[in-house]
Chain A
Amino acid sequence: MSVNPGQPVVAVVQRIEIKKLRQGENLILGFSIGGGMDQDPGQNPFSEDKTDKGIYVTRISPGGPADVAGLMMGDKIMQVNGWDMTMVTHDQARKRLTKKKEDVVRLLVTRKSLEEAVKQSMGKKYPCYKQ
């Protein structure tokens, strides 16, 4: 999952659909994000590559919509409803996730265990996606 600027990013992703929960007048998803283009990537505990400025899931409230949908802590969010999240600032990411008009967010997330699972199931014929 290394990010080379200018090169296309290839990753094994999982589609996760989260239905927002209404709490009072807010729609919440039940997780916290960290990272972003304007943040310090070295302090990210979940990233493999410490120069990766992507958006990561840092906390999941247990029993919340994200937890129910299968989101896991440490996941990197690649797309939200079709919008790319690999090159956004922290605030932009937050806005994309918390649009009041959308009830459902469809995320594409990636994690290390996905790649390994695919590799194991396909055997050695599966091409390595690591660049």
Chain B
Amino acid sequence: MDTESTYSGYSYYSGRSRGSHRHGERSRDRHKSRSKDSRSEKSVTINTPPAEPLLGDSSVRGEQVQDDNWGETTTAVTGTSEHSLSQEDIVRITKDLEDSVGLDCRRYFTLTLAVILGLLVFLTPLAFLVLPHLLWPEKLQSCGTACEGLFISVAFKLLILLLAVWALFFRPPRAGLPRVFVFRALLAVLVLLFVVSYWLFYGVRILDSQDENYQGIVQYAVSLVDALLFIHYLAIVLLELRQLQPCFSVCVTRSTDGETRHYNLGQLSIQRAALAILEHYYCDFPVHNPALLSASKSRAAKHLAGLKVYNVDGEFPAASAEVFKAKLKAYLLDSPGNNAAAGLAHSQSRAMIAAAARRRDTSHNELYYEEAEHERRVRKRKARLVVAVEEAFTHIKRMQEEEQKKAPGDVMDPREAAQAIFPSMARALQKYLRTTKQQHCHSMESIQQHLAFCITNNMTPKAFLESYLTPGPTLQYSRDHWLARQWTLISEASVTSGLKDGSVFLLKCVDFSLVVTAKKIPYIQMSEEYIDPKSHKFVLRLQSETSV
């Protein structure tokens, strides 16, 4: 069973309550049965790439290739996410519900469970305090000073607990992860068990026997709140603190152009590590530019087209060269599904590839001169651009306060100023962007906006140009240029298991994938060596030459 786990990025709900709750096995089965449908709808969205044949091939073949490499244990799609809702977001959610009905129903359901658990937790101490007054007020001993002091303590501890829960859990969710967040689920179960056991004790020993010692009841309620605060401490340690100490060094490589970065992560599960890596990806990796990949693809096509067919072994029938090349191509690109053709091609292709390698190949020459030429062209265009922009910026001057009163003539706000000087640099900029194949990243509107921004903030022409001369991280570009917000996590190990030394997983989006390898940071044994400050002494060593 080869399945992939998916996590979707469209989650903008701002409420989150403590310990959003999973039902464990039951809901997981339900999720799995729904996974097939949701996977089909997700695979539909994944398999509509923006017209890149290279990636189109691999995404269709992706699953078969992954069959070979990733084995049987790739993880299931659950698409669950832990969020809870505050009141105002429920309204927003009902609007979004039309988008993805199946997924959000589940999310909504778990969110309400989390809200119920939170309410239960907060109202329990109050209920413990109020119920005796409601049920047996006559029998109850009056509350002395110590007891009333405990009221204050309960009130403040509840307030602190409320603030702490708000700080830790009521945060906008960053992402939807494929599997349940194990620590949160465990904490929710723990809290539930805890509260239930307190209720049981209360019900049996206090409600049934109608205990008159109100101070004891108040102390019981205080102990509950104390224990809840300690559970919150446990939550902080498990959810936030444990992964802070760096334990693994991960190496992230983009599959299309080989951009590599290294990050240090703590002890995290694979899905949380993937989330952390993606957040770094948007800041650190230069934006994916499919236009830059076309050169290597055309070279690859030329290699295949230029191969000569030699009849090396005898039994090769008199088929045409194209059939043979098609077989070779099939061998090289397909998985070895059909053994007959593969076997035939296998022996032939080795001879062929060796023959092709020995053949006089001038493509390296072409590549070298092409790249040198391109480099020259880019530099020339860049020089023209820099000069044009510098000249354009000299036409604009910030007007001082005194001048404003004297000459209220041709005064412009930043947007108009940008529009005024834009035409003089537009052509040079456009040519430069075309040469570096970046023209689809920047629209005219965005360039003018950026220009107005630079003028407002007194930036130099060099600062304005910096975002066009070097490809920046993905975050720098406009929102609709972020082609990938839906990522697929492909892993041999279960995604809720922790990172281990040597674990490898893939983060796939529509156009490319990120290959992640984790290595353990070794135990560092540091020793000290003392250097006496007086021990720094030097001698002069000469080597002179004298002529005699």
Contacts and interface: CB of A to CB of B under 8 A. Distances in A.
Nearest to A20: B548
Contacts of A97: 548
B547 A59 contact: yes
A14 interface: no
Interface string B449-484: 000000000000000000000000000000000000
Interface string B519-548: 000000000000000000000011111111
Contacts of B548: 28-29, 31-33, 94, 97-98
A103 interface: no
Interface in A41-59: 42-44, 58-59
Contacts of A31: 547-548
B541 A32 contact: no
Contacts of A94: 546, 548
Interface string A20-37: 000000001101111100
A40 interface: yes
Interface in B287-333: none
Interface in B127-142: none
B367 to A, nearest CB: 43
A70 to B, nearest CB: 16
Nearest to A94: B546
A40 B541 contact: yes
Contact of B541 (A34, A39, A58, A90): A39
Contact of A40 (B543, B545, B546, B547): B543
Contacts of A28: 547-548
A42 B548 CA distance: 23
Contacts of A33: 545-548
A51 to B, nearest CB: 13
A40 B543 CA distance: 6
A33 B545 CA distance: 6
A116 interface: no
A94 B544 CA distance: 11
A84 interface: no
Nearest to B541: A40
B191 to A, nearest CB: 73
A37 B544 CA distance: 12
Contacts of B542: 38-40
Contacts of B547: 28, 31-33, 59, 61
B505 to A, nearest CB: 53
Contacts of B541: 39-40, 42-43
Nearest to A40: B541
A29 B547 CA distance: 8
A6 B543 CA distance: 25
Interface in A87-103: 90, 94, 97-98
Nearest to B539: A40
Nearest to A29: B548
Nearest to B540: A40
A90 B541 CA distance: 13
A33 B546 CA distance: 5
Contacts of A38: 542
Contact of B543 (A29, A44, A59, A98): A44
B546 to A, nearest CB: 5
Contacts of B546: 32-34, 90, 94
Nearest to A38: B542
A42 B539 CA distance: 14
Contacts of B543: 34-35, 39-40, 43-44
Nearest to A95: B548
Contacts of B545: 32-34, 58-59
B547 to A, nearest CB: 4
A98 B546 CA distance: 11
Contacts of A39: 541-544
A32 B545 CA distance: 6
Nearest to A56: B545
Contacts of A40: 541-543
A30 B209 CA distance: 121
B71 to A, nearest CB: 59
A9 to B, nearest CB: 22
Interface in B409-440: none
B14 to A, nearest CB: 71
Nearest to A91: B546
A38 B544 CA distance: 10
A94 B547 CA distance: 8
A31 B546 CA distance: 9
Quick one: which of B542, B547, B548 has the most chain A CB within 10 A?
B548
A73 B541 CA distance: 23
Nearest to A43: B543
A82 B314 CA distance: 85
A45 to B, nearest CB: 9
Interface in A77-131: 90, 94, 97-98
A39 B540 CA distance: 9
B134 to A, nearest CB: 96
A97 B279 CA distance: 77
A31 B548 CA distance: 6
A34 to B, nearest CB: 5
A42 B541 CA distance: 10
Interface of B: 541-548
Q: Across chains A and B, which 3 residue pairs bring their CB atoms closest together, nearest first? A: A40-B541, A43-B543, A32-B547
25 contacts: A28-B547, A31-B548, A32-B545, A32-B546, A32-B547, A32-B548, A33-B545, A33-B546, A33-B547, A33-B548, A34-B543, A34-B544, A39-B541, A39-B542, A39-B543, A40-B541, A40-B542, A43-B541, A43-B543, A44-B543, A59-B547, A61-B547, A90-B546, A94-B546, A97-B548
Given A38-B542, A61-B547, 5 more contacts: A28-B548, A40-B542, A43-B541, A90-B544, A98-B548
